[in-house]
Structure 1
Amino acid sequence: MTPSITRPLLAGLMLCSACVFADEYGPTTPPTNQPMPAASDSLCVAQDNWAPFEAVQMPDGNQFSSDTSCDFHRWSWQMFLWLMQDDGKGEPRFLGFDSPYDLLGIDNRESLLPRLSKQGGARSMDEYLQAGTEGILVGKDGKPVYYSQYINREFVDFINEHELTDFEKVQAFDPNTSFDINVAEFKAAWKIVDKATADSGEFLITRQSVFKLVNRNGKIVVDVNQSSEEYLALVGFHIAGVVEGHPEMIWATFEHKDNAPDVPTNVQPDTVVSDKDWTFYTANTPYSQCNINYASSPQLTLDEASQTLSPTTEVCRRFAWGNNANQMTYAVPTNIQVVQQLNDSTLSLLDQSKAQLPADRNWLKNYFEVSAIWFRRNDGLEPNMTLATDFDDNGKQLLIGGLHLSNSTIETFTQTQSTMDNCFRCHNTSQRFPPSGAENLAPLKGMNLNISHAFMNIYFWDQEMKLKAQSAAAKQ
């Protein structure tokens, strides 16, 4: 099924709005779930109440147990399944969620500053650039991968309740206050595909308009006056949500099984990563040619007529399961085997008749959890945490799970950078300053809510919009 969405797809940090909500969002407080079967790190399996598929409920963070690593990965998988359910209109539930632009009533994001995870002033191709590196992932067909982000109703309610779309309210807000339990945000990576691929049943597919690229003054830029309707296949998906005891959010990521190969242990530059073709990898490509970012290179060219870029990106997943491939024990904070067990169990469940998986949801069996990451201790979030390492100020292990967690389609180019090699390297609570060229905007103090880039963007966007309004009024 190829549902239709008319708004041009935008990349980067997009989150929800203060709008009227339809029933398909689900209740503000999720229905009470049946108690989870006891989770076990020696045998982490899918929950019985994940069958039938359509009965899966949003995991209630108020009932969350943090006794085992399995609990965190189960929460991630249950959230993924719930988000992928039909919303009653033929679309996965999450596609009905809002973006942060909606919260501020913004229609044209091109007039705004780039997302905070990027450096410098406004850049061309912002809809295609990856967080942290301004990298652009170019598929084998020369098409860029697009990104979009969503937040749930609980996120919207929290922002509106505290009037946090007003930057002055943010400045007066208690920095120790965290997001409410069940607040969540999501980010998707989309690959343009042809109709045959869209009809194959291998991917979650949406039909959506995307902005075209043009060559202008020696640069490749987005032309917001030109768009085209495309079939888009989901290739990557981030989930982040607050549960009891974990205001830092559980950060989990999912990928399509055919995206890219895992890099073998003891890899050398000339090591061939795989002898088969993948969606973003050509058979027999050596490791030295993987994950090269051409976005800021003169080598990157655009053919406007075909809307294709060159060269393409060869993608390799540097850390299978978000960790060093040699790490397989339960005693350390990486829990690779827990993730593998739960993936196998969940995918097996979806393949059974009791799952009653609708025919138009068979593509679910092609996605898997790479890993998740969270704090080892409960209620450990504080303002001004840089989270630059996996340890706290006393040298004790702070982070647990996928300590090198990256999505090969969302963080393609940061997989080996120690300053960006897991979610918390960028998502932290330290003070934030506006991008270069916008020094007239007030910085954002260190606060617990800074764990969300969507929240931070809203803070700076509100200032920018008000300054532009004042400037326009002064000229009248």
Structure 2
Amino acid sequence: MKRSLAFIIITCTILFTSQFIITAFKPDNVSKQRPLTTNSCNCYASTPLYNVVINFNNKVPGDLPAFNNQSQADCFAWQEFITLNWPIDSTKSFGAPRDFSPVGWEKYMPLEVLFQPNGVKPSPWGTLVSPQYAARFKTQNLLMNTNNTKLLTFTTKFAVDSNFRLSPDQAAPSDKPNWLGAQNGTNLWYEIKLNKDYYDFVIKNGYYNAVTQHDSVQNGVPLNFPQGQYNGPVGAIEIKAAWMEVDDLSSPKWERYKLSRATVYDSATGKLRETNVALVGLHILHKTQNQPTWVWATFEQIDNVPENGQPAPPYGYNFNSSNCTSRQVSLNGGGTATVGCAPNTSPPYYLSQAAPVPIQITRSNAIDQSDAAPINDSMQNNIKRFYPQSVFQYYQLVDVIWSQTLQPDKTKPIQAPFPLNTSAMLSGAHIVANTTMESYVQNTLTCYSCHKYSTIAPFPGDSVNNNVFGDFSFAISAAQYPTAKAKKKR
């Protein structure tokens, strides 16, 4: 009996070891992508029927089985946030303090890399720096790795990159300076990232070229991005991020932030420099089968601005000071400008005229206390329970916009704006705004108010179709065209 038992134990050990070796060397396991974990929790819902299970892993959800209420939409957003911010390196923990390594969405393709000058085919997936930028700064001592460097060139969400005329967004106000100065005296940097499903769709259809977009429209084919599916494809995702520069890295303050190393392009000096940045705002735009008008989720770091009923953060607010005083700023070329303390007022000068100073910001629309606030409490506590040191326990969902009724894609090209049933578009607050990205228009427009006016890329040879709807994505309008084509009448 003992010999039989020993034989069974030895046999099982050999089988287990063999299976482990085989599994470990499967091609799928060669990647550094962090494996799925077993941590999960229930997300707050108004009734058990609508509960959403949150899994802590790297599997970005394609959709929910159905969107029934605001709490489900909020929970879906938290699932997106967790999976998108999952570390790529399998040796890293979720949200480890002072971890500068990239998370999933940071490896998405930057807008300016996907849409190249003259509408040429972009670089392969995984490229993070435009070849044009790399060539432009080739003579500088600061080297850029096209597959690893985070290159930030936009000082406002609404800015136009003076090198390649790429606009991260077309939202208002467009007639005033829109940079945002933090309390540490630095300006914010912004970036737009597009996921693999978005990239593949553009490459497959040749939509990186404005002429091809117009050819498609002339053939009666609408531009409809791929939809995510429950337990299926992820669908098109567009990320917009706001980064604050780190001043004193030794401060324990930064153990509350997702940090990254970045190379920034200073439009005032025309030079590059390296810096450390902290994530303070994140928009997640996601097209799904149940939400073809996209899910619009936005997150912030909890120390940005005062919140109703919440104590002040231990290291002060990022964009608000109780001791604010007006500042006189000397401008290049002479003259001065006064930066006052009236909240949410755009600065009176451009960064090419003077260095940034702190701008006073408050939240105009309180975070929804019925759904978002309790869901935030629950998710922050669960993150702390599973990953006690995680920086992501210091982030919060601001709000989510979703459609209560299905508003399907159009089968033929239409002129913008999209005929959106706005009464079906729900959110916790009447107007959804992120204090780091809609700082000066928090009471004016909500996300879809602008994005329903998105269009395909303009092309002078076919101006009659310049206003064709671009499926809620302003990014697609950044496509350019061969200069020679513009001179020909179509």
- SS, match of residue 254 in structure 1: strand
Corresponding position of 1:269: none
2:143 matched to 1:143? no
Change (3 A) 1:288 1:244: same
Does residue 294 of the first structure (1) align with residue 347 of the second (2)? yes
Q: Residue 408 in 1 paired to residue 435 in 2?
A: yes
Q: 1:26 to 1:398 in 2, by over 3 A?
A: farther
What's the secondary structure of 1:191's corresponding residue? Answer: strand
Query: How has the CA–CA distance of structure 1 residues 407 and 210 changed in structure 2, closer, same or farther, with 3 Å as cutoff?
Result: same
Counterpart in the other structure of 2:321: 282
Contact conserved, 2:455 with 2:474, CA < 8 A, in 1? no
Counterpart secondary structure, 2:46: coil
Q: What displacement does 1:423 show?
A: 0.6
Would the aligned equivalents of 1:147 and 1:187 in 2 still touch at CA under 8 Å?
Answer: yes
TM-score (normalizing by structure 2): 0.66
Q: 1:179 to 1:34 in 2, by over 3 A?
A: farther
Q: 2:51 and 2:82 mapped to 1: Cα distance?
A: 12
**Aligned counterparts of 2:237 and 2:465: Cα–Cα separation in 1:** 21
Calculate the aligned-residue CA RMSD, in Å.
Answer: 4.4
Describe the shift of the 1:456–1:59 C-alpha distance in structure 2 as closer, same or farther (beyond 3 A): same
Q: Which residue of 1 aligns with 2:483?
A: 467
Separation in 2, partners of 1:448, 1:253? 24
Q: Give the structure 2 partner of residue 96 of structure 1.
A: 107
CA displacement 1:393-452 (0-9 Å, x = unmatched): xxx7132114311110011011122xxx21112211555785xxx967846545553411
Q: Is 1:309–2:391 an aligned residue pair?
A: no
Matched length: 382
Tell me the SS of whatever aligns to 2:442.
Answer: coil
Q: What is aligned with 1:427?
A: 451
- Show the counterpart of 2:240: 187
| Deviation at residue 70 of structure 1 after TM alignment | 2.1
Identify which of structures 1 and 2 has the higher relative contact order when contacts are C-alpha pairs closer than 8 Å and 6+ apart.
1
How far residue 160 of structure 1 moved from its aligned partner, in angstroms, is: 1.6
Deviations, residues 307-327 of structure 1 (Å, cap 9, x unaligned): x324x2111111112xxxxxx
1:379 partnered with 2:415 = no
Instruction: Tell me the residue number matched to 2:95.
Output: none
Matched, 1:229 2:274: yes
For residues 297 and 465 of structure 2, the distance between their equivalents in structure 1, rounded to whole angstroms, comes to 26
Deviations 1:99-135 (A, max 9, x none): 1322233434799xx99x9599969998999953351
State the Cα deviation string for residues 332-368 of structure 1 (Å, max 9, x = none): xxx651112211111111121xx2x274xx1100000
Residue 375 of structure 1, CA deviation:
2.1
Alignment correspondent of 2:46: 41
Structure 1 distance, partners of 2:262, 2:381, is: 32
Contact residue 45 and residue 51 of structure 2 kept, 8 A: no
Alpha-carbon distance, 1:97 to partner: 1.3
In the other structure, the counterpart of 2:260 is 206
Pair 245,470 (structure 1): closer, same or farther in 2 beyond 3 Å = closer
Determine the C-alpha separation between the residues in 1 that align with 2:43 and 2:383: 20
Does structure 1 residue 132 correspond to structure 2 residue 153?
A: no
Corresponding position: 1:399 with 2:399: no
Letter aligned with residue 483 of structure 2? L
Change (3 A) 1:449 1:197: farther
Cα separation, 2, equivalents of 1:67 and 1:376: 7
CA contact (8 A) 1:128 1:136 kept: no
Q: 2-side partners of 1:209 and 1:431: how far apart?
A: 31
Q: 2:296 aligns to what? A: 251
The C-alpha deviation readout for 1:453-474, integer Å capped at 9, x for no partner, is: 111112xxx22xx117989xxx
Contact 2:74 2:400 in 1 (8 A): yes
Q: Structure 1: how far apart are the matches of 2:180 and 2:40?
A: 42
C-alpha offsets along residues 141-171 of structure 1, whole Å, 9 cap, x if unaligned? Answer: 3211000111111111111222211223212
Structure 1 distance, partners of 2:344, 2:318, is 14
- Give the superposition deviation at 1:300: 8.4
Consecutive unaligned residues in structure 1, runs of 5 or more: 1-21, 213-220, 265-272, 303-307, 322-334, 472-476
In structure 2, distance between residues paired with 1:246 and 1:166:
27
Distance 1:447 1:298, change over 3 A: closer
Question: Structure 1 runs of 4+ off > 6 angstroms?
Answer: 24-27, 33-39, 43-46, 123-130, 438-441, 468-471
In structure 2, what is the Cα distance between the partners aligned to 1:366 and 1:35? 19
* Cα shift at 1:47: 4.7
Q: Which runs of 5+ in 2 are unaligned?
A: 1-29, 91-100, 117-121, 123-129, 137-153, 228-234, 326-339
Q: Which amino acid aligns with 1:151?
A: L
TM-fit CA distance, 1:203:
0.5
Aligned to 2:391: 363
| Residue among 324, 340, 343 paired with 2:373 | 340
Larger radius of gyration between Structure 1 and Structure 2: 2
What's the secondary structure of 1:345's corresponding residue? helix
Are the counterparts in 1 of residues 74 and 399 from structure 2 also a CA contact under 8 Å?
Answer: yes
The answer to whether the 8 Å contact 1:281/1:315 transfers is yes
- Indicate the residue corresponding to 2:204 in structure 1: 161
Cα deviation for residue 244 of structure 1 reads 1.8
Is 1:253–1:372's contact at 8 Å kept on the other side of the alignment? yes
- Residue 73 of structure 1: aligned partner: 74
Q: Quick one: structure 1 residues 109 and 371, their matched pair in 2 at CA, closer, same or farther if it must change by over 3 Å?
A: farther
Give the TM-score, by structure 1 length: 0.68
Could you say what secondary structure the match of 1:351 adopts?
helix
Distance in 2 (alpha carbons) for counterparts of 1:158 and 1:23:
24
2:302 alignment partner AA: K
In structure 2, distance between residues paired with 1:38 and 1:278: 28
Match of 2:140 in 1: none
Matched residue SS, 1:248? coil
Contact 1:190–1:236 at 8 Å: present in 2 too?
A: yes
Please name the residue that 2:83 is paired with: 82
In 1: Cα distance, 2:165 partner to 2:207 partner:
29
| Cα gap change, 1:410 to 1:443, in 2 (>3 Å) | farther
Q: Does 1:457 align with 2:478?
A: yes
CA deviation digits over 1:74-114, x for unaligned, max 9?
A: 21111110111110173211111111322233434799xx9
Amino acid of the residue matched to residue 236 of structure 1?
Answer: G
Distance change >3 Å, CA 138–CA 178, structure 1 → 2: same
Distance 1:468 1:206 in 2: 40
